[in-house]
Chain A
Amino acid sequence: MKRLFCLILLLASATWRLEAQNPGWPVPDDQKGKICLVKFTPDMVKQGEAIYMKNCQSCHGIPTKKNFAAIVPSPGDLSESKVGSQKDGELFYRITTGKVPMPEFRNILTEDERWSVISFVRTYHKGYKQPDPEKLAGAAGKRIRLSMAYDTVKKKIMVKAVELSKDGPQPAKGAEVVIFIQRYFGNMQLADPKPTSEYGYAGFDWPQDLPGDKRGNVIVTARVNDPTGSMQEALVKDTLTIGVPTDKPSLTDTRAMWSTRDKAPVWVILTYTLAVLVVWYFIIYIILAVLDIRKIKQV
């Protein structure tokens, strides 16, 4: 009873602190404790920096430079202590869910990528110590393994989720699967998330008009991204030759009025050159003839 009371008090104070810092953006308690399951490494920080510069920097600016965007609510500089004092789980939740105008990165970045961004931001927080992932091993939800294949008859991408439990692999039922197709500036979600069937399968209709590369290759990612945390994130990425082969010619391939000199329409080059040659032929002819006047002596 006493322990329970203490816990409530602790939670209340924690919530109060949070409210003071981020009015209107509470993080559910069960999410605060979430931690990264691997140790941050320099490689991870580097990856996080690249992702940060691409996805976060336009609003948050470069940490410590205080060059964040002047919008309301203010994005703020992520090196500040009010960010530093937040738990990893809180940062992770905020990145994941977003809140207008901050985008929701759930479907844009994988969990690993989100953690790498946190690992990068943490390098600006003095005195930060990463919670030891070892302690939480096993307590982080079910481990899932995904596999993916294209069903040419049904024209569907079939994803199979397998739970890796102590008793050996079993079909994972009810895992929320999302499919993404890699595009130049980010991953494109194919359809709404679908739970796996009791046999561990989820099928996604493949649009027959989606462009692939020259050979029709598309890079497809399937992900289990359970918001409740009962399952660990699982991911499978594969190149499938199921897109429409797309090899559009360069826009400057044809001769045109607006093209470069080398690609001028032939009739323009011919007309211009011909007109110039004809007129100047006569002009030079006349100049030469006139110069001949000097040589003619009176008989």
Chain B
Amino acid sequence: MDENTVNNRDEQDPSKSSRRNFMKNIGLLGAGVAAGAGALYSGDIFEKKKAATGESKVLLTQDNKLVEVDSLEMKVLAKNPEKLKLQEGREGIPGKRWVMVIDLSKCRNARRCISACQDAHQLKPEQYHMNTLQMQDSPGTAPYNMPKNCQHCDNPPCVAVCPVDATYKRGDGIVLIDNVRCIGCRFCMAACPYSARIFNWTTPKDADKHSGETYNVELNVPQKIGTVSKCLFSADRCREGKLPYCVSACPNGVYYFGDENEDAVTNGTTKETTRLSKLLRDNGAYQLMPELGTKPRVYYLPPKNRLFPFEPSTD
């Protein structure tokens, strides 16, 4: 086929040439990668040239340390801070597999986790990354409170359906959303069996105040209208070695959070660290709807031996 006719077809029907665009984009992507690599390389050479003068630079690292680096050693990763954040946010923290344990016997619906979460992620009161549900499994069984967030599944049905890689799973298990990429199709919301995902239907909370901020994919702020949002296991806090917002806000010791690879979880209230495997074994831990094959990273400890009565909320 000659190139001309192909172009003609595209002109006749510009919006309907997905495959062509798509193939083109693969090409573009390749070109982009090559160009990027080229830029990095030339940047590197540039730095090396400077090093000939014996220069060294003082830099502020991400964990707020001042370091002196020989410019020969420096490598430009990305010039745009937002892009750098996005890149870092896609990689996750090496060697980690985050896991959350929720002890239902301790939850008395204080909803402190919810407000801490909503404050951190700039959410409106009806927007829940974490929501405490009043559950009753069957008519004969006792009702209980169940905090429910994104289960960060190892076989995430939501991520599978995303058309643009806007939501993705990281090597450390966290399922994140890049709201600079999200097209707002809401397929992921339809696919999630845990109703964990929410949408910015209208202008997000305090949008004017936060409009100038650099987008932090690990905190998912500022929230953007027309994009999906959800629990992030406080990926930003994990990076700093701190427990997630909800976990440290709980006054009742409901939450444990930690690294499965270390076989340890830390309680957000007592700050005590215990062995994950022992905690799960001793308490008969279970997962939400494991029959769906989603392989959640959140475990629940059953609501037994409660020290307080169940108080149904009016809602």
Q: Which residues of A contact B (CB under 8 A)?
A: 53-55, 58-59, 69, 71, 101, 103-105, 107-108, 181, 183-189, 209-211, 213-214, 246-248, 250-253, 256-261, 276, 280, 284, 287-288, 291
Kindly list chain B residues whose C-beta atoms are within 8 Å of the C-beta of A252: 92, 169-171
Question: How near does chain B come to A258, taking the closest CB pair, in angstroms?
Answer: 4
B5 nearest CB neighbor, chain A only: A288
Question: How near does chain A come to B118, taking the closest CB pair, in angstroms?
Answer: 14
Given contacts A58-B249, A257-B160, contact A183 B1 (CB under 8 A): no
A59 nearest CB neighbor, chain B only: B251
Residue from the set A107, A183, A210, A214 with the largest chain B CB neighbour count within 10 Å = A183
Query: Within 8 Å of chain A (Cβ to Cβ): is B159?
Result: yes
Question: How near does chain A come to B233, taking the closest CB pair, in angstroms?
Answer: 12
Kindly list chain A residues whose C-beta atoms are within 8 Å of the C-beta of B268: 58
Question: How near does chain A come to B259, taking the closest CB pair, in angstroms?
Answer: 5
Kindly list chain B residues whose C-beta atoms are within 8 Å of the C-beta of A69: 112, 249, 251
Main secondary structure of the interface of A (DSSP, over half): loop
A288 adjacent to B1 (CB under 8 Å): yes
Question: How near does chain A come to B245, taking the closest CB pair, in angstroms?
Answer: 8
Complex Cα–Cα for A251 and B156 (A): 12
Given contacts A258-B160, A276-B19, contact A184 B169 (CB under 8 A): no
| New A-B pairs, 14, CB < 8 Å, besides A186-B273, A251-B173, A288-B1 | A107-B272, A184-B258, A185-B243, A185-B265, A188-B274, A189-B272, A211-B262, A247-B95, A248-B261, A258-B156, A258-B160, A259-B169, A260-B165, A284-B1
Q: Which residues of B contact A (CB under 8 A)?
A: 1, 5-6, 9, 19, 92, 94-97, 110, 112, 116, 154-157, 159-160, 165, 168-173, 241-243, 245, 248-249, 251-252, 257-259, 261-266, 268-275
Q: Which of B96, B156, B159 contacts A184 (CB 8 A)?
A: B96
Question: How near does chain A come to B177, taking the closest CB pair, in angstroms?
Answer: 14
Question: How near does chain A come to B194, taking the closest CB pair, in angstroms?
Answer: 15
Kindly list chain A residues whose C-beta atoms are within 8 Å of the C-beta of B258: 183-185
Question: How near does chain A come to B278, taking the closest CB pair, in angstroms?
Answer: 10
Residue from the set B5, B257, B273 with the largest chain A CB neighbour count within 10 Å = B273
Nearest 10 A-B pairs (CB), nearest first?
Answer: A250-B171, A185-B266, A188-B273, A183-B264, A58-B248, A258-B160, A258-B159, A103-B270, A257-B160, A186-B273
B171 adjacent to A184 (CB under 8 Å): no
Residue from the set A69, A104, A181 with the largest chain B CB neighbour count within 10 Å = A69
Kindly list chain B residues whose C-beta atoms are within 8 Å of the C-beta of A184: 96, 241, 258-259, 262, 264
Q: Which of B160, B262, B269 contacts A183 (CB 8 A)?
A: B262
Complex Cα–Cα for A103 and B262 (A): 23
Q: Which of B110, B248, B271 contacts A71 (CB 8 A)?
A: B110
Kindly list chain B residues whose C-beta atoms are within 8 Å of the C-beta of A101: 251-252, 269
Question: How near does chain B come to A280, taking the closest CB pair, in angstroms?
Answer: 6
Given contacts A250-B171, A251-B171, contact A183 B266 (CB under 8 A): yes
A260 adjacent to B168 (CB under 8 Å): yes
Kindly list chain B residues whose C-beta atoms are within 8 Å of the C-beta of A59: 251
A183 adjacent to B251 (CB under 8 Å): no
A261 adjacent to B273 (CB under 8 Å): no
Kindly list chain B residues whose C-beta atoms are within 8 Å of the C-beta of A257: 160
Given contacts A54-B242, A258-B156, contact A248 B266 (CB under 8 A): no
Complex Cα–Cα for A253 and B1 (A): 40
Kindly list chain A residues whose C-beta atoms are within 8 Å of the C-beta of B165: 260-261
A108 nearest CB neighbor, chain B only: B271
